[in-house]
Amino acid sequence: MKTLLFLLALTSFAFAEEELLLRLEVKSQGSNRSLSHTVRIQNGGSGSMSVSPQEKKEGVFEVWRFHPTRLSSDKIRLESQLDVRLDEGPRQHSKFSTTLLEGEPWEASVDTPDGKATLDYRITAWKIPAGQRLLKFDKDGRPQWVTPGNY
Amino acid sequence: MACDEGLIHALFDGELSAPQQAAVRLHLRGCSACRQVQKELNWLHKTLTEAPRRRSWRPLLTAAAVFALAFLGWRAWTPAPLPPPTTNSSYEISLNGQTHQIKVEGAELVELSLGEQNVDLRKAKIE
């Protein structure tokens, strides 16, 4: 019983302290836009990312909000919300709830509120090895890690 | 009356009738050996009743384990409400000739690419 409790506490602690890497790739059919962001976010925490044009002319305003939670060694639960709007036009709100396999991309497509463009999103998540940071992605899109100080 | 330790125990436990109690007490007055037995019996009883009771942690540990398992199950199957972001950072990038602002809250932006080109976040960040 004590061993079970110890393992439970250790697992919860290890998962709680862990950080995850989320890569969001965006392609916009119609505006020839290709953009990818990668964020580091704490397991069980939440983070948002908004992309908005400085000048309000035919720009797409997007706000992504993520809440990743690691379920097991290779599964990550991702609750996410996406707000899309054009200039001062109507806002489109989408909610996604999915279980990702580490390193396996998850894809979603959303039409802009005016229906003139489709936004294709691809999200991939990894757990960050303890004490390491992202150096770069290799040609296959896998993250290469580095220990800070060893650049 | 002959010495009988069993009767002293029975007296102590209140199992004797009134005449038997009187007979045993009478015997105790005149028998130092039986008084010693009674004395030791009293000491043993006092020691046992004053000793701290050993606390059993088993029910508490079982309850804690059940609670922990229930909590982990709940975390796994129930989407948690989104807590408010805690950190902010802002970046300016040029995309197809238009300047865009990227704001990140509650997370750290570690990489940003436009097509095949990586953006140097240190230059792009708005302080």
- Please tell me the distance in Å from B12's CA to the nearest CA on chain A: 42
**What is the predicted pLDDT for the residue at B81?**
43
Determine the pLDDT at residue B86: 53
What is the pLDDT at residue A26?
A: 86
**Given an 8 Å threshold on Cβ–Cβ distance, is A134 in contact with B108?**
no
- Chain B residue at shortest CA distance from A27: B115
Q: Quick check: B73 contacting A, CB < 8 Å?
A: no
| Average pLDDT over every residue of B74-87 | 55
The predicted pLDDT at position B85 comes to 43
Provide the residue type at A82 as one letter.
L
Residues B15 and B24 sit within 8 Å (Cβ to Cβ): no
- What pLDDT does A56 receive? 60
Residue B55 confidence (pLDDT) above 60:
yes
Per-residue confidence band for B84, with pLDDT thresholds at 50, 70 and 90: very low
Within 8 A by CB and 6+ apart from B101, the residues are: A50, A51, A52, A53, A54, B90, B91, B92, B126
Tell me the percentage of chain A whose pLDDT exceeds 70. Answer: 80
Does the pLDDT at position B82 exceed 60? no
- From chain B, the residues in CB contact with A9 under 8 A are 68
CA B37 vs CA B15, B25, B47: distances in Å:
17, 13, 15
Residue numbers of chain A with a pLDDT score lower than 70: 1-17, 29-33, 55-58, 149-151
Residue type, B110: V
Q: How far is A144 from chain B (nearest CA, A)?
A: 12
CB spacing of B96 vs A5 below 8 angstroms: no
Q: What is the pLDDT of residue B24?
A: 87
Confidence band, pLDDT 50/70/90 cuts, at residue B83: very low
pLDDT above 90 for B119: no
Neighbours of B109 (CB within 10 A): 21
| Percentage of chain B modeled with pLDDT above 70 | 84
> How many angstroms separate the CA atoms of B123 and B36, rounded?
94
Q: Per residue in B16-52, pLDDT tens? A: 888 888 888 888 888 988 888 888 888 887 777 776 6
The strands making up A91-101's β-sheet, listed across from edge to edge, are A91-101, A75-86, A60-70, A47-53, B98-105, B88-95, B125-126
How many Å lie between the alpha carbon of A71 and the closest alpha carbon of chain B? 6
Q: Is B100 in Cβ contact with A50 (below 8 Å)?
A: no
